[in-house]
Amino acid sequence: MLVVAGTHGNERNGVWLLERWRRNPGLLNSAGIDLVMTLGNPAAVAANRRYLERDLNRSFQPALLNDPGNQELEVRRARELLAAYGPAGSQPCQVVFDLHSTTAAMGNSLVVYGRRPADLALAAGLQERLGLPVYLHEKDPHQSGYLVEHWPCGLVIEVGPVPQGVVQARICRQTQLALETALVLLAEARRGVLRLPRQLVVHRHLHSLDVPRNANGEPCAFLDPRRQDRDWQPLRAGEPLFLSDQGQPISWEPQAEDPPTVWPVFINEAAYEEKGIVLSLSQREVWPGEATWAEALRESLRIK
């Protein structure tokens, strides 16, 4: 199994943990699972920046990976990670955990990309044991090319709020707890004794919002202070979301396909400002657990 930290170079908590576990493997309870650990973007970690040329966690797009003319640092690093640790790499890994942190008050949470049964097995098990909320990201043409999608099974562990560039004990503990619990689940799946809960609550990605802008494209409102740090909490049509420069509340009104209630996530994540995103909207859904999930997880652990 592969553990990646520092996919974004200024998310320091995973990097801090990884360096300690490498120096002293006894600090991580691996439940008997063989682990390979690597920094996602060592150059960005050294510079304490999210990335140098392109966001590594948007660089795993076939169009980039297969373009020999593209020699951007992060695209080269993506190819390198796949050649080393990908399912067909020199040290093949079947499962990957990618350790992230966020300035948003996401708590200890999981991000799942798409609906692969093995991912859902891990998410359901982690949600049952630790209560973690799950953000299901799929079908966003503006956001693609994520690292974990290139392994047969993989999740992002996303913990916040913590500023970029800062290590905090609480964030490190939450990250370690989620990873160790995931390893217990993998060990159980390998032994064929994993039992999953009857349901999985997911927050399914709808789309993202930018702050309101004036005719010149300049922001002319910010997040209403009543919404700061309220990730995973419902937002209903007509409730205040922004505050204009003149101090007028601006309420949220559903767009064409939006349901009347949504659940904002990644509220005021610093790194998304450059992407024109102040928060993402999700829909809360309760899915019945499927018997096939645990089997798919067990299958993905089989040495090919």
List all residues 6 or more positions away from 244 whose beta carbon is below 8 Å from its beta carbon. Answer: 212, 220, 221, 250
What are the start-end ranges of the E strands in the chain? 2-5, 36-39, 95-101, 107-113, 134-137, 153-160, 199-209, 221-223, 235-236, 240-244, 249-251, 261-265, 279-288
Q: How far apart are CA 296 and CA 118, in angstroms?
A: 5
What's the Cα-to-Cα distance from 228 to each of 106, 242, 278, rounded to whole Å?
11, 10, 11
* C-beta of 28 vs 301, nearer to a copy of itself: 28
* C-beta of 202 vs 221, nearer to a copy of itself: 221
Q: How far apart are CA 48 and CA 56, in angstroms?
A: 14
Q: Across-strand partners of 112? A: 136
Q: How far is the CB of 211 from a copy of itself (least distance, A)?
A: 9
Q: How far is the CB of 187 from a copy of itself (least distance, A)?
A: 23
Among 32, 114, 165, 197, the residue binding a copy of itself under the rule CB under 8 A is 165
Which residue type does 273 have? E
Q: How far is the CB of 68 from a copy of itself (least distance, A)?
A: 30
Q: How far is the CB of 110 from a copy of itself (least distance, A)?
A: 22
Q: How far apart are CA 160 and CA 73, in angstroms?
A: 27
- Structure tokens belonging to residue 164: 């970029």
Taking CB under 8 A as the criterion, which residues in 218-247 touch a copy of itself?
A: 218-219, 222-225, 228, 243, 245-246
Phi, psi angle pair for 215, to nearest 5°:
-60, -25
Taking CB under 8 A as the criterion, which residues in 8-67 touch a copy of itself?
A: 16, 19-20, 23-24, 27, 48-49
x/- track of binding to a copy of itself for residues 85-124 (CB under 8 A): ------------------x---------------------
- Position 251 contacts a copy of itself (CB under 8 A): no
* C-beta of 91 vs 214, nearer to a copy of itself: 214
The contact set with a copy of itself (CB under 8 A) reads: 16, 19-20, 23-24, 27, 48-49, 103, 161-170, 172-173, 218-219, 222-225, 228, 243, 245-246, 268, 270-271, 273-274
